[in-house]
Structure 1
Amino acid sequence: MSRRSGFTEPTLRYYERVGLLGVVDRDPASGHRRYEEGTVGRVMALACLRSSGMTVDGMREYVELLGRGDEAAEELQELFTERAGQLAAEIARLRLRHEYLDLKARRWQARLDGDHAAETAAVERIKKILREL
């Protein structure tokens, strides 16, 4: 499960302990955890949520709401809409940071090439990006 989900074994044990996974059966002979299909689906959903930047508290809220079924549909929709908006804002910031790094490389390449106009243009765009960040 660790390889499949990307979570470390201690993280999986922690998620089990704090109630995110429910009861995970053990192999009676070895004591190893045996993840049923439903639990595998939950682990994979949590992996997706975690990779999107959702906190453990957010994942707890998700699991709680999920347990309430259809009566929590509106709250689940709000939870995901809010996280999607946060992720979109983060992506926009990352795009600016990427452009900043690209421009810094171009600026120094322009310096190496002796292209003063290109260097000046890169510096001006860099200044604008820094104001946006």
Structure 2
Amino acid sequence: MTTTPSLIGSSDMSMRQMVQLSGLSEHALRFYEKVGLVGPIARDASSGHRHYDEGDAIQIVTIACLRATGMSIDEMRRYFELNEIGLPAAAEQIELFEQHKASVRQQITRLEHQLEYLDGKVAYWRALERGDQVQAKAIGTRNLEKALEINNEIKQENA
């Protein structure tokens, strides 16, 4: 029988070890404990220092992975709720990730529009630098339209 080595390494880890393992800051670890995504974390009776077990570590590494995708706290909570249910919640897990993918795609589109705007600003100033007032004015008009479009996208996202 083949065993897969644990990425966790130890079943009793300090805060510093957990920071190194997860890539999250001490502040982030405390925050995720405070909002209930992990924990409560066991503490040393005399020093009060946190001691993370393997289950804590798995949860925290999963949080780090979800955070890396830009997932919100509420989405992470939902993920863990569904994860507790297991396979019967697979369709809901898929939907959660599909919705998050759509949100990320929307953010990418907005970022692409922001880059287009910035390209326009560079072109505007290059035209001015060349002394081409006509081209600068045309670019400025297009950039204003792009900025209004971006602001409308942001309003729709926040509505």
Which TM class, normalised by the smaller chain length?
0.7 to 0.9
Q: Which runs of 5+ in 1 are unaligned?
A: none
CA distance in 2, matches of 1:59, 1:19: 11
CA distance in 2, matches of 1:99, 1:41: 41
Amino acid at match of 1:57: D
Q: Which runs of 5+ in 2 are unaligned?
A: 1-17, 151-159
Per the normalisation by structure 2, the TM-score is 0.67
Higher helix share: 1
CA distance in 2, matches of 1:6, 1:34: 17
Q: 1:61, CA displacement in angstroms?
A: 0.8
- Number of the residue aligned with 1:95: 112
Give the 3 Å change call, closer, same or farther, for CA 44–117 of structure 1 in structure 2. farther
Q: 1:41, CA displacement in angstroms?
A: 3.3
Per the normalisation by structure 1, the TM-score is 0.78
Give the 3 Å change call, closer, same or farther, for CA 21–96 of structure 1 in structure 2. same
Q: 1:124, CA displacement in angstroms?
A: 4.5
Amino acid at match of 1:62: Y
Amino acid at match of 2:56: T
Q: 1:67, CA displacement in angstroms?
A: 1.0
CA distance in 1, matches of 2:20, 2:142: 42
CA distance in 2, matches of 1:26, 1:103: 55
- RMSD (Å), alpha carbons: 2.6
CA distance in 1, matches of 2:51, 2:141: 58
1:108 pairs, out of 118, 122, 125, with 125
- Secondary structure in structure 2 of the residue aligned to 1:45: helix
Q: How many residues are aligned here?
A: 133
- Structure 1 range deviating more: 41-50 or 78-87: 41-50
Q: 1:68, CA displacement in angstroms?
A: 1.0
- Number of the residue aligned with 1:122: 139
